[in-house]
Amino acid sequence: MSYGAAMTQHFTGYPTEAMPLLAEIGSGDRDRFRALRDEYNTQILDPTRDLVRDLAGPLQQISPGINAVPAVNGSISPINNDARFHAVPPYKDYVLLRFWEGEDKANSPMLFLRIAPDGIGFGAGWRFAGNDVERYRRAVTGPAGDGLAEILAGLTGRVHGEVIGDQLKRVPAGHASDHRHAALLRRKQLGVTWTEHVPKSFHTARFGPWCARRLTIAGDLHRWLRDNVR
């Protein structure tokens, strides 16, 4: 599927200074970020807002209910790290975009895009909460379980991706330890991620369609989670 003509054209590319600036922000302190704030806004945040606007159309082709909100704390994760629970640097050295489907962004199937000097990351998944885990396990043990296994095998094989998410050491009670989807039943969260080299199109409008094509690869997993766990 070609997205070049179908996408809106707000995004024109990241400037050449964007990646070095991200690396500098990630290695600096709060005073350094204050000094770089205007550069961050113009060279990273503003183009990122435009990228989100352009990705909205292709994402809704994956699923009409996907949210693409071109704002910080919308689809754009804040550049500052949350240091309340972990010892982390004050600021990220990457841009994280999250496109979710559901009323609760924190508890919904989601597509991810991560922009960093060491590569462009993609992913899809869900951090299950409450009764989500039980709904997920019922789906895995039902007719949809084989479909999920096929999706994961096809996706990880195509992009050399990694299945991620917290998991139990054993199959949960009530399920046979030798179930053909035992590995999936142990999952408390489920996602697939992969990283690609920063393309030459990063500094051009072509970067938007390049990202859209790769997010679409994860569309089958997103739709499975939407249809079977929601």
What does the pLDDT profile of the chain (230 residues) look like in tens digits? 555 545 778 999 999 999 999 999 999 999 999 999 999 999 999 999 999 999 999 999 999 999 999 999 999 999 999 877 777 899 999 999 999 999 999 899 999 999 999 999 999 999 998 899 999 999 999 999 999 999 999 999 999 999 999 999 999 999 999 999 999 999 999 999 999 999 999 999 999 999 999 999 999 999 999 999 97
**Contact call for residues 122 and 84 (beta carbons, < 8 A):** no
pLDDT attached to residue 27:
94
pLDDT attached to residue 107:
92
Q: Rounded to an integer, what distance in angstroms lies between the CA atom of residue 218 and that of residue 192?
A: 8
pLDDT attached to residue 6:
59
Query: Among candidates 132, 111, 107, which has minimal Cα distance to 228?
Result: 132
- Return the structure tokens found at 144: 């949809």
Helix (H) or strand (E) holding 27: none
Amino acid, res. 189: Q
Helix (H) or strand (E) holding 104: none
Q: Rg of the chain's alpha carbons, rounded to an integer?
A: 19
Give the angle subtended at the CA of 171 by the CAs of 169 and 146, to the nearest 5°. 120
Task: Write down all domains in the chain, each with its CATH number in brackets.
Answer: 18-228 (3.30.930)
- Return the structure tokens found at 90: 């004050």
Q: Rounded to an integer, what distance in angstroms lies between the CA atom of residue 206 and that of residue 115?
A: 15
pLDDT attached to residue 22:
97
Query: Among candidates 93, 86, 132, which has minimal Cα distance to 114?
Result: 93
Residues recorded for the chain: 230
Amino acid, res. 41: N
> Residue 96 forms beta bridges with which residues?
114
DSSP letter for 67, please: B
- What global pTM score does this model have? 0.93
**Contact call for residues 88 and 81 (beta carbons, < 8 A):** yes
DSSP letter for 203, please: G
